[in-house]
Amino acid sequence: MTNRNKNLFWYGFFANIKKFFGSVLTPFGVVLSLFGWSLNQNGILVIGILLLIVGLYLLLIGSRDRFDYQRQSGYIMHRGDY
């Protein structure tokens, strides 16, 4: 296995990790925000909103990195490449 392939493997692996944590933090942030809003607790609401923002950021960055990994590894072929 060449060094480029090892780096590409870890690039895809960490992209999946980012997507996983983003998909866990986003709903948790929504639930925590709604919980803080219903109890009128500003501290819980702010923490929930921050978790929501971080979760969405990780989800977007992980999806972008995963697409780039698929493009670099040759999984995605463009129409003119056949």
> Of residues 26 and 82, which shows the higher confidence score?
26
Q: Which amino acid is at 31?
A: V
pLDDT beyond 60 at 70: yes
Give pLDDT, residue 72: 83
Q: How confident is the model at residue 22 (pLDDT cuts 50, 70, 90)?
A: very high
- Cβ distance 62 to 69 under 8 Å? no
Per residue, what are the HEC states of 26-74? HHHHHHHHHHHHHCCCHHHHHHHHHHHHHHHHHHHHHHHHHHHHHHHHC
Give pLDDT, residue 80: 56
54's tokens = 């971080």
pLDDT in tens, 25-53: 999 999 999 999 999 999 999 999 999 99
- Cβ distance 47 to 36 under 8 Å? yes
> Of residues 71 and 75, which shows the higher confidence score?
71
22's tokens = 């983003």
